Amino acid sequence: MKSEARSAFPKDFLWGVAIAANQAEGAWQEGGKGPSQADVMRFDPDLDPRSIETIGSRDDVERALADVSGVYPKRDGIGFYETYRDDLELLGQMGITAFRTSIAWSRLYPRGDESEPNPTALKFYDDLFATVRHHGMRPVVTLTHYEMPLHLVTELGGWRSREVMDHFLRFAQTAVARWSPLVDVWMVFNQLNTGLLDPFLALGLLDVPDAEMPAVKMQALHHQFVANAAVVAMVHRANPDALAGSMVLDMTAYAASTRPADVLAQVQEEQATLFPSDVLVRGAYPPVATRYLREHGNSLDIREGDLELIAEHPVDYLAISYYVTRVVGEGPTSLDRIGWSINGDLPNPHLASSPWGWQIDPLGLRTALNKYADRYPGVPILIAENGLGANDVLTSAGEVHDSYRIDYHREHISAVRQAIDDGCTVMGYLAWSGIDVVSASSNQRSKRYGFVYVDLDNVGAGSERRIRKDSFDWFKKVVTSRGRALD
């Protein structure tokens, strides 16, 4: 299907790419870095890569740290810690205006509870952000992207602990104070609402009985909401012109049928998955959250001043990651579930899927953007992640022909253009991942998202060469034409 979009996007629209420190940097024990959540995520070739594996106990963490034969790809990433200068120079050749990455919390504060930051890490990020600027890109910096120091997880209980929130705010204050001259778009949390579905990676929760998990998740999320508001205030004090936001995973859902019970289930699921963004944007808990707590007999430990802080410092923008839409039927919502499937309860027969079972729905992105525009009038939406994971093939001639990725981005960018024409305020499109990185969900390098191929396999073998895919030149044409040249 050919795109209908032809008019240029707004002049200040952010065209860029996004990665995360834990999926790219590697160097997990270099420069004083401490272990993080990502460093215990194992690649297992015998597991179904379409599943999303997580960790549930302290024993799981200790086994991973003691494992000398297993493969943990995020410990090495793509070597970005050493190669960032060349990688950023290459990415900058696309003409992109924004580069999103994260600050590895456990690189700056290895245990998380130190009183002073790691000076080697300070120097690394000084150079990194200056290099991003040098190549004409605006840094979009995420403060926490599944990179909590493991010490805070195993010894303090993750975000269920108020003390962890205090340690995070020390880390955030260090980052904002030091890098505000270089960074004016801050993202406090990555995919904050995934705490509903992956308690380990998003909230650092371990050894929580299923019966207690709903209450513990809500307490941990409350601490994140308070921390988010505190960082928004922090950013504005450092630079009144800077933007401070946070990100949620878009989980737009369709009803499994026209049965009234399925339609109600779809409405309730969206209320559940959107309640975190309601708090971030509107500055208050919505009825679905307060009703849930009342019905389940849970009460939050809300300290004096928490709700006032949340109300006084909503986000300047809301970031979303968009990959799939879901189909849901009558049953429990994501507030009650422990595990999750990216596609929801049922496959959508009207959509094609990637090799990992992620259903491809460009029109769903237009639907999602209209949903946010209606729900949060006037609040800019940043598409902080959108991309296609695929089994790219490097030919004998040293080329990668990824027309499927070009098709994917063409249709999604067209949907963004149409949403803007619908009246939605969209501030940018950051493709995941610009350069191949380790997959967050399957811990594979073979699940490739980039416009640049990295010659490394799942176990870390390869030349590490960076090779432009066909999509590299195509995305450059899109960016330099401000979205006019999509074909």
Closest CA to 25 of 91, 124, 116: 124
Is residue 379 in a domain?
yes
Is residue 8 in a domain?
no
Is residue 476 in a domain?
yes
Is residue 7 in a domain?
no
- Give the rounded distance of the alpha carbon of 78 from its chain centre: 18
* Digit-coded pLDDT (tens) for 380-417: 999 999 999 999 999 999 999 999 999 999 999 999 99
- CATH number for the domain harbouring residue 463: 3.20.20.80
Q: Would you state the pLDDT for residue 196?
A: 87
10 Å CB burial of residue 233 (0-12, 13-18, 19+) is middle
Amino acid at position 48, single letter: D
Q: Would you state the pLDDT for residue 333?
A: 82
Q: DSSP 3-state assignment of 400?
A: coil
* Digit-coded pLDDT (tens) for 219-270: 999 999 999 999 999 999 999 999 999 999 999 999 999 999 999 999 999 9
Q: What are phi and psi of 39, to 5 degrees?
A: -75, -5
**What is the distance between the alpha carbons of residues 116 and 438, in angstroms, rounded to a whole number?**
30
Structure tokens belonging to residue 459: 């176990």
Is residue 2 in a domain?
no
Under-50 pLDDT residues of the chain: 1-5
- CA atoms within a 13 Å half-sphere pointing along the CA-CB vector of 478: 29
Positive or negative: CA dihedral 406, 344, 375, 298: negative
Q: Which residues contact 198 (CB under 8 A, 6 or more apart)?
A: 52, 54, 340
Is residue 9 in a domain?
no
Is residue 90 in a domain?
yes
**What is the distance between the alpha carbons of residues 309 and 313, in angstroms, rounded to a whole number?**
6
Q: Would you state the pLDDT for residue 45?
A: 87
- How many domains does the chain fold into? 1
Is residue 126 in a domain?
yes
Tell me the angle at which helices 260-282 and 362-375 cross, rounded to the nearest 10 degrees. 60
Domain encompassing residue 26: 14-480
**What is the distance between the alpha carbons of residues 309 and 303, in angstroms, rounded to a whole number?**
11
Q: Would you state the pLDDT for residue 4?
A: 43
